[in-house]
Structure 1
Amino acid sequence: MQFTKDTSKVLTVIYKMYLERRKNGQSKSSAKNFDLEFYKGISCLSSWSEDDITDSLSELRKANFIKEYISGDFVLQDALIIHMENRFKNGLSEVSKYLADLIADIVTGLAF
């Protein structure tokens, strides 16, 4: 499945947060729940507008990766977790490295 670079970044951040929650002992059902403002404390996303976040979330919703509520909060679907588990076989460390590389690529691309 292919996504825009921005959506790929959001997807990877969300999955990383899910893995960290699980590592810290949260249940699967609890770790899958996110509020719309999840990005505000994430340095690589905190400067984004809410519209940009919701646009990426819409892309993920169309792929059946999240179920979005009227409030903007959302829950991860099994399809997202399966996709990311197959993509990052080594778990959290591999996700973190990919995210760092993606951020570097985006920043480099912005410096004309």
Structure 2
Amino acid sequence: MEEPATRELDSVSDGASDDDMPVMLPTDGGGSIRKGCDPFAQTQRSKLQHRRARINQQINKEMRMRAGAENLFRATTNNKVKETVALELSFVNSNLQLLKEELEELNSNR
């Protein structure tokens, strides 16, 4: 009995496990079939990149908020407004610190 023909797939490893690599299936002359090949499936690396991009966007937003709050703090003479803006600045700085720590953690888990 003759073994069914198979074709090798050229693939580049990005450090992913063998589970992420396509599985070779026998062909019947028409070409190979990739088992579980989903073009919308994200690799672990792309998930990390998307998460980093999202965190960087949030950091940029917080930085703009902080710059605006600092400008308002310097421009106002109303003590009530200064007090409110100072409180908001403390929240923004806290959020920035948390986002930067989260980004550092993602970058260290390579």
Answer whether TM exceeds 0.5 for this pair: no
Q: Which has the higher contact order (CA 8 A, sep 6+)?
A: 1
Q: TM-score, normalised by structure 1?
A: 0.27
Q: Where is the helix percentage greater, Structure 1 or Structure 2?
A: 1
Q: TM-score, normalised by structure 2?
A: 0.28
Q: Which has the greater radius of gyration?
A: 2
